[in-house]
């Protein structure tokens, strides 16, 4: 009789901790957590629209940590056979706090040029010369200092424009007309690096004219489609994290034509609070229906049934990284309940539990580790919320979803969770860990009311 094959070596806690990385989208790399399939109407709608219309412009919203980055990555992989996909990660290249229409166009342009160079080789000289001309057009000729007889240092964009513009933060020499594609890519990479490290007042940002950069994007995307024989699909991630309302309105409404006129398909993330804000109707008019990715189902904190449908996504995540023996099913249930349906929160608190186990040189997570993690989570938020926050939460939850605009900042922070799969009257609920805080506020209210009589 043939010998039974030995079981592969179980991964160490350190290996599991490395795979429990909440900052890496599932499926992005070999050591990341694999993606698990999700049944979502929003994802089906986006996939159908993008497949049918090569110039579709779509917005995907949802809570931070709900899985939008993972699904954009999966969309990119699935669309490769029929689209030339250009992916832009704002958080990795620019920094969310430096987002504006001008800098975002630079991000897109740099990503498109990089996609060309890395996959198709050198760009045509005529195309590069045209792009360099657009850069030089950023500085009108009449504003350039006249040549003097004596030698002078190389001109920089900072020397050539008013201090009130954003260009002085580039601190970049005007490029010569004779560049190749790799040199142009390096130039834009340096520009992004400088933008990412500098803070620019909002009023200066909103005064910029992005037309030359937009023209460069249009030219590159058109030529990219022609050279590859495929329509271009641009995926822009991390814009859902933009918190400044002026910048948000500038990118998605006031200068939306910078995106809508580009000769490509676009799928971009959008802050969830914008969907329910005063600009929600305008977003629908400009972009069409915004698709919202809903949270995962939330299991009850206590139960014995392993085949509970609400528990399955979380068990699947742990099994995919061989962590099913590190966490018991009951522990997984408690952590899943505390995550409020947000995969990133679940992965993050699981990672913290593993760190506690490593700290005590254990081989698996103990119940008291979970107690510590959940206590830490509550303590972190205990001092951040005030009575006006609690009242805003009650005004939404107790009115079956009314008064949402008063609680937009709580939606942004994931304290008020929106779940479109729930019945209409229960689509807005409290994050699980916030429920004790709100109940304590209710008791204080009742105490104050009783003291008046």
**Rounded (5°) CA angle 340-377-421:** 10
Q: Say how far apart CA 90 and CA 92 lie, in whole Å.
A: 5
Confidence of residue 92 (pLDDT cuts 50, 70, 90): confident
What pLDDT, in 10s, does the model give residues 223-232?
Answer: 999 999 999 9
Are 391 and 312 within one domain? no
Confidence label for 161 from pLDDT (cuts 50, 70 and 90): very low
With respect to residue 240, please indicate whether it lies within any of the assigned structural domains: yes
> Mean pLDDT throughout 169-186?
68
HSE (side-chain half, CA atoms, 13 Å) at 239? 30
Distance CA 218, CA 112 (A): 10
**Weakest mean pLDDT among 28-32, 156-160, 184-188, 293-297:** 156-160
Tell me whether residue 24 is in a domain.
no
Query: What's the mean pLDDT in 258-272?
Result: 96
Taking residues 318-344, report their average pLDDT: 95
Q: Which of 346, 378, 410 is the last residue of a domain?
A: 378
Q: Do 288 and 304 share a domain, yes or no? A: no
Q: Worst-scoring range by mean pLDDT, 63-67, 326-330, 422-426?
A: 422-426
Burial class (CB in 10 A: 0-12, 13-18, 19+), 391: middle
Specify the pLDDT at position 344: 96
User: How long, in residues, is the chain?
Assistant: 453
Q: How far apart are CA 375 and CA 431, in angstroms?
A: 15
Q: Round to whole Å and give the CA distance between 336 and 313.
A: 9
Cβ atoms of residues 63 and 342 within 8 Å: yes
Does 21 fall in a domain? no
Kindly state whether residues 96 and 236 are assigned to the same domain: yes
Phi, psi of 150 (to 5 degrees): -80, 150
Q: pTM score, two decimals?
A: 0.87
Task: Assess whether 280 and 178 both reside in one domain.
Answer: yes
Same-domain status, 123 and 152: yes
Average of pLDDT values for 192-215? 75
Q: Are residues 425 and 340 in the same domain?
A: no
Closest CA to 419 of 340, 365, 353, 348: 340
pLDDT at 160: 34
Q: Quick check: is 129 in a domain?
A: yes
Residue 8, in any domain of the structure: no
Q: What is the CATH number of the domain that holds 306?
A: 1.10.8
Would residue 204 count as lying in a domain? yes
Q: 11 in a domain, yes or no?
A: no
Percent of residues, the chain, with pLDDT higher than 90? 64
Helix H, strand E, coil C: the string for 116-137 is HHHHHCCCCHHHHHHHHHHHHH
Q: Is the pLDDT of residue 203 over 70?
A: no
Separation between Cα atoms, residue 170 and residue 109, nearest integer Å: 16
Coil, strand or helix at 61: strand
Most confident of 3-7, 302-306, 352-356: 352-356
SS3 64: coil
Note whether 215 and 235 are same-domain residues: yes
| Together in a domain, 362 and 419 | no
Identify the pLDDT of residue 159: 38
pLDDT digits 0-9 by tens, 238-254: 999 999 898 899 999 99
Q: Report the domain count for the chain.
A: 3
Q: Average pLDDT, stretch 125-147?
A: 70
pLDDT band at 145 (very low <50, low <70, confident <90, very high): very low
Please report the pLDDT score of residue 183 as a whole number.
Answer: 87
Residues 287 and 318 in one domain: no
* Cα–Cα distance for residue pair 300/371, rounded to 1 Å: 16
Is the domain of 241 the same as that of 323? no
- Looking at the structure, tell me whether residues 399 and 304 fall in a common domain: no
* 324-358: b (≥16 Cβ within 10 Å) or e: eebbebebbbbbbbbbbbbbbbbbbbbbbbbebbe
Coil, helix or strand for 212? helix
Ranges 139-153, 182-196, 304-318, 329-343, most confident: 329-343
pLDDT > 50? residue 342? yes
Smallest CA-to-CA distance from 113 within 175, 195, 179, 185 is with: 185
Q: Which of 350, 378, 406 is the last residue of a domain?
A: 378
Q: Where in the sequence is the domain holding 441, given as residue range(s)?
A: 387-451
Beta bridge partners of 58: 267
- The confidence band for 91, taking pLDDT boundaries of 50, 70 and 90, is confident
Which of 234, 267, 292 delimits the end of a domain? Answer: 292
Residues 349, 230 share a domain: no
For the stretch 373-431, pLDDT in tens is 999 999 999 889 999 999 999 999 999 888 999 999 999 999 999 999 999 889 999 99
* Residue 235: strand pairing partners: 87, 267
Least confident residue range of 197-211, 255-269, 432-446: 197-211
Judged against a pLDDT cut of 60, whether residue 156 lies above it is answered with: no
Decide which of 209 and 34 is more confident: 34
d(CA 383, CA 9): 44
Q: What is the pLDDT of residue 102?
A: 86
Specify if 10 maps to a domain: no
Angle, CA of 253, 158 and 166, to the nearest 5°:
15
């Amino acid at each position: 009789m043939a010998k039974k094959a030995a079981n592969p070596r179980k991964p160490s806690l350190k290996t599991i901790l490395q795979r429990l990385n909440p900052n890496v989208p599932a499926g992005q790399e070999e050591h990341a957590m694999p993606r698990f399939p999700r049944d979502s109407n929003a994802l089906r709608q986006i996939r159908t629209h993008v497949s049918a219309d090569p110039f579709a412009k779509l917005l995907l919203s949802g809570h931070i940590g709900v899985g939008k980055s993972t699904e954009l990555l999966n969309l990119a992989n699935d669309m490769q056979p029929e689209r030339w996909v250009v992916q832009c990660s704002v958080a990795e290249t620019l920094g969310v706090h430096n987002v504006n229409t001008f800098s975002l166009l630079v991000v897109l342009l740099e990503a498109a040029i990089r996609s060309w160079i890395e996959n198709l080789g050198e760009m045509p000289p005529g195309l590069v010369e045209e792009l360099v001309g657009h850069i030089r057009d950023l500085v009108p000729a009449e504003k350039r200092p006249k040549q003097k007889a004596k030698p002078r240092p190389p001109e920089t964009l900072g020397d050539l424009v008013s201090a009130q513009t954003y260009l002085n933060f580039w601190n970049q020499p005007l490029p010569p007309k004779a560049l190749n594609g790799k040199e142009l890519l390096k130039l834009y990479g340096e520009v992004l690096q400088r933008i990412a490290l500098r803070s620019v007042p909002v009023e200066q940002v909103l005064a910029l004219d992005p037309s030359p950069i937009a023209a460069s994007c249009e030219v590159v995307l058109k030529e990219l489609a022609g050279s590859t024989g495929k329509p271009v699909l641009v995926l822009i991630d991390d814009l859902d994290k933009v918190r400044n309302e002026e910048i948000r309105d500038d990118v998605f409404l006031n200068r939306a034509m910078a995106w809508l006129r580009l000769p490509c398909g676009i799928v971009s993330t959008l802050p969830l609070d914008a969907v329910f804000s005063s600009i929600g109707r305008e977003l629908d008019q400009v972009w069409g229906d915004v698709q919202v990715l809903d949270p995962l189902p939330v299991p009850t904190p206590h139960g014995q049934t392993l085949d509970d449908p609400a528990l399955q996504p979380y068990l699947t995540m742990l099994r995919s990284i061989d962590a099913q023996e590190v966490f018991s099913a009951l522990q997984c249930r408690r952590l899943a309940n505390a995550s409020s349906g947000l995969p990133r929160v679940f992965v993050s608190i699981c990672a913290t539990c593993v760190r506690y186990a490593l700290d005590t040189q254990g081989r698996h997570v103990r119940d008291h580790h979970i107690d510590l993690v959940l206590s830490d989570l509550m303590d972190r938020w205990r001092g951040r919320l005030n009575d006006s926050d609690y009242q805003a939460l009650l005004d939404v939850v107790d009115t079956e979803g009314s008064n949402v605009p008063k609680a937009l900042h709580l939606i942004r922070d994931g304290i008020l969770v929106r779940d479109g799969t729930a019945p209409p009257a229960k689509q807005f609920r409290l994050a699980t860990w916030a429920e004790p805080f709100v109940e304590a506020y209710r008791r204080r209210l009742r105490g104050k009311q009783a003291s008046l009589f």
